[in-house]
Amino acid sequence: MNDTSQSSTPPSVSQPTSSSNVVIVGGGVIGAACAYYLQKTGATVTVIDRGEFGQACSHGNCGYISPSHILPLCKPGAVSSTMKIMFKKNSPFKVRARFDMKLWGWMLRFARNCNHESMLKSGRARQALLDSSRELYLSLMTSGELADCELHTDGLIFVHDDEHHFHEYEKTDKLLREEFGLAAKPYDGKALEALEPSLKPGVGGGWLYECDSHVRPDKVMSAWKQRLLANSVNIVEHCEFQSLTTRDGNVSQIETSTGSVKADQVVFATGAWSPQLAKHLKATIPIQPGKGYSMTMPRPKICPKYPMIFEQHRVAITPMDTGYRIGSTMEFAGYDSSINETRLEILTDGAKHYLKEPLAEPIQEKWCGWRPMSADGAPIIGKLPQFKNAWLAAGHSMLGLSMGAGTGKLVAELMTDQTPHIDPHPYRVERF
């Protein structure tokens, strides 16, 4: 069925009521959080997903709930530093050469945002959602509302390979302290080895962000699913969005691979797939899929106590109660779902550089997923301008888990005309 609309003027907002049928397209962490907070308003909520609930980018990430990740990738010097490494074989950043006007358009937008003012603007937007989500997650997980998530609140360490890079990070620490009120604890090489005995001797030092936490993300998604089903949310898997029908600026139903679904309100929490729906949504959605990789295995005998990011190698590790994960890299390769073994070697080589026991056997899962990378580093959240009752929540880049709870709460507040707990203006769809 083709999209139809009889309204050419920007529509007003249609508010859900306790009897509203809300359909959420996308069963990742953002869709789950939106469903949770919307059902609490009394709405009848259905979540549809083209695959299985929680099995896309929300499944295999490193599980960080990280208020420390304020600064976006688009910052001063990002373009030149990226150009220096992107063509190296073992670079953590890679762009697959191809003719793709959407990719190059996105890169131009990204480059225009690589300035100090835009960095701070995006950083403040990110900080609001990160801080909100942390508090919400801690409440949900410690109360048992989201059970068995393997939550740890010890912090996260940014590790540097030599003293020069360790001291160079003082500039970033100063910026985060002065502009955002975020402080880290510095540890020189010897002090860091004492704090984290899994590290090899000779590291340059590290910065501990005690505000950060970590979880096992697949267990978080299982907990979301269990909670939503217990709260009478309907979850429909293997149900792919195809089109929508509108009248006078209202979406009346959506067409899916399994049939029609009537809706009073629709939320598109479609992650990296969002730009594929731009024609249907009548919006500019500058998001690119940034492919990340991870490997999951049993805990090594000398297992890290802290999650760590090895800054110069851009490799992240997460110790979990029931396993151990190495992840990261960034690959712009379109919607290619294949596992590139060379990218996995980058992860293992990075871990070997820093850790006494970097790997354990057997490798239980090799994984890749598409991060929804927005061009300015801030999520895209709000009502779709050409509709009265359709909303977008996407573009969380590498922070979907970290920002998930705050995003869900904000979407529910906006849709039900409540006073939002954070300023929604920086995330609006029409900023592009």
- The pLDDT score that the predictor gives to residue 20 is 87
Strands (E), 168-258: 185-188, 205-209, 213-214, 234-236, 241-247, 250-256
Label residue 4 by pLDDT band (50, 70, 90): very low
Label residue 7 by pLDDT band (50, 70, 90): very low
For the stretch 180-190, pLDDT in tens is 999 999 999 99
- The pLDDT score that the predictor gives to residue 3 is 45
Q: Residue 417 burial (CB < 10 Å; 0-12/13-18/19+)? A: exposed
Mean pLDDT across the stretch 39-59? Answer: 94
Distance CA 36, CA 235 (A): 12
Topology of domain 67-114+151-214+287-374, CATH: D-Amino Acid Oxidase; Chain A, domain 2 (3.30.9)
Does pLDDT of 19 surpass 70?
no
∠ Cα 294 300 306 (to 5°): 70
Structure tokens at 165: 């890079």
Does pLDDT of 246 surpass 80?
yes
